[in-house]
Amino acid sequence: MKSIRTLLPLALAACSLARGQMTKQDVLAKIEASKPTYNQIALDIWSYAEVGYQEVKSTARLQNQLRAEGFEVRSGIVGEPTAFIATYGSGHPIIAIVGEFDALPGLSQEAGNPEHHSLGARAGHGCGHNTFGTGSAMAAAAIKAWMESTGQKGTLRFYGCPAEEGGSGKVYMVRAGLFDDCDAVLHWHPGDRNDADPESNLANMSAKFRFTGTQGVASTPSARSALKGIQVMDLAVNVMKDQMPYETVVQAVVTHGGEAPNVAPGFAESFYYSRNHNRKAMQQVFNMLADASHGAAIATGTKTTYEVIHGNFELLPNDTMSRVIYANMVSVGGFSYTPEETAFANKLRETLFSQDHLPPLDSTEKIKPYDPDPAPGTFSTDVGDVSWAAPTAGLRTAVVVPGVSLHSWQAAACTGISIGLKGMLLASKTLALSAVDFYTHPETLVKAKAEWEQRRGPNFVYKPLIGNRQPPLDYRN
């Protein structure tokens, strides 16, 4: 038998729809009533764990649900097979909500296990995008129900965005002008705390540097090892770090280095990221990487080329929108852990590399005080490009245990259980209430656009960092 606590949100939502005038409380009740459906979707997508541009099952799950909710869905857009836009309504204001659903390679992990236990798959949701896409869709469904019941004019869009993790899926949408007519774009992201600060971040650009040489016995003068090109480039980049702009981050992995030590590889490849809070400084660093690759090829008698894989602008903050989101986040409030969740969280935190300055577990019950001018974040996202195309703001919720870093097996252990779903629920409710405010207070949208135009600057012309390349559909192969 269902409890009164379970049945009450369903009854409230039904009564409100019958009256034809949903309030913000009714929107919350609608989301509560939809939890079983969307929780299962989030867990299903967690189990699929599909990497960028290969999220076939994940995108189908979300598209089918939004069609069932009454959205018109257009899929396979801008050359991205797993991208889609779900739309309801017409005219302005146009409010957009973005959702992601790609997993990260190498982060397979058993859900709810506080010890490292791989499931044997090559990917896992260590960044919580299974909750990101699902929570955004849950919010969109509730907003649509509110628009229908109140007769609210305007358009609601859900952007299903693939390959955020290094594939810049949204950048191709921005380049095609798909956000240009939006009055407001809302997003969120999993984290280990609850906040809605108007935060900027790191611009980011990546490339695969490929060296070709001559195969042969590794110890003979006639061999030209392509791997030596990689090694000399890496040395040059590290030597030049003190010449790079302040707060630059350079990351790299060798994706192919040969098959055997005694066979000089004829091909080798490394994958580099360049990051900085200022995209012009970031581009300067990227050019230094390209120069290092050419110098390394000359020094080792090899040849080199590179392919730009992705490029993201830094986020353009919007204080006007963020204050609305923050107020709604506070009205929803944080959440607490059950005794079982607390035991899991404490055990999981024992596996963290550093035990210093861990936030308290009950920080999930709080909303971080609003900071109108926070320090730039150390993360990158293709939402950055979206924020230069339309006024954009977002929030972060504690989808992982406080102190746990994203892009880790510990995060993947959290995003497939109730802890991740609680953070998703807070995000969904906050997005939905904020959208209601933007629809019903058009003067706020006017103010947000004025701020956006001021921050963007006069005569701004968008030039994507990816240039005119097509989506790298095979970048995770």
CATH match of 4-201+315-456 with 3.40.630.10: yes
Exposed/middle/buried for residue 407 (C-beta within 10 Å: 0-12, 13-18, 19+): middle
Buried b (16+ CB within 10 A) or exposed e, 52-90: bbbbeebbebbbebbeebebebeeebbebbbbbbbbbbe
Token pair in block for residue 270: 């490394």
Q: Does this chain's domain 4-201+315-456 share its CATH topology with 203-312?
A: no
3.30.830.10, 3.10.290.10, 2.60.120.200, 3.30.70.360: which CATH number matches 203-312?
Answer: 3.30.70.360
Q: Do residues 410 and 358 lie in contact, with contact meaning Cβ atoms separated by under 8 Å?
A: no
Token pair in block for residue 242: 């003190």
Q: Residue 8: what pLDDT?
A: 43
Distance of alpha carbon 82 from alpha carbon 160, whole angstroms = 8
Q: Residue 356: what pLDDT?
A: 84
Q: What would the pLDDT profile of 32-44 be if each residue is shown by its tens digit?
A: 999 999 999 999 9
Q: Which of 210, 241, 203, 239 is nearest to 226 (CA)?
A: 210
Instruction: Give me the residues of the chain with pLDDT under 50, please.
Output: 1-19
Distance of alpha carbon 6 from alpha carbon 2, whole angstroms = 6
Q: Which of 356, 361, 359, 358 is nearest to 341 (CA)?
A: 361
Distance of alpha carbon 372 from alpha carbon 141, whole angstroms = 30
* Total residue length of the chain: 477
Beta strand pairing call for 184-191 and 104-105: unpaired
At 445, which amino acid appears?
Answer: L
Q: Which helix (H) or strand (E) holds 66?
A: helix 56-68
Q: Residue 152: what pLDDT?
A: 97
Token pair in block for residue 387: 């924020």
Task: Tell me the CB-side half-sphere exposure of residue 120, using CA atoms within 13 A.
Answer: 0
Q: How far apart are the first and last CA of the chain?
A: 48
Q: Which of 99, 139, 94, 81 is nearest to 389 (CA)?
A: 94
Q: Do residues 407 and 107 lie in contact, with contact meaning Cβ atoms separated by under 8 Å?
A: yes
**For residue 194, how far is the Cα from the chain centroid?**
16
Distance of alpha carbon 73 from alpha carbon 346, whole angstroms = 42
Q: Residue 121: what pLDDT?
A: 74
Q: Residue 4: what pLDDT?
A: 41
Domain boundaries, the chain: 4-201+315-456, 203-312
pTM (two decimals): 0.93
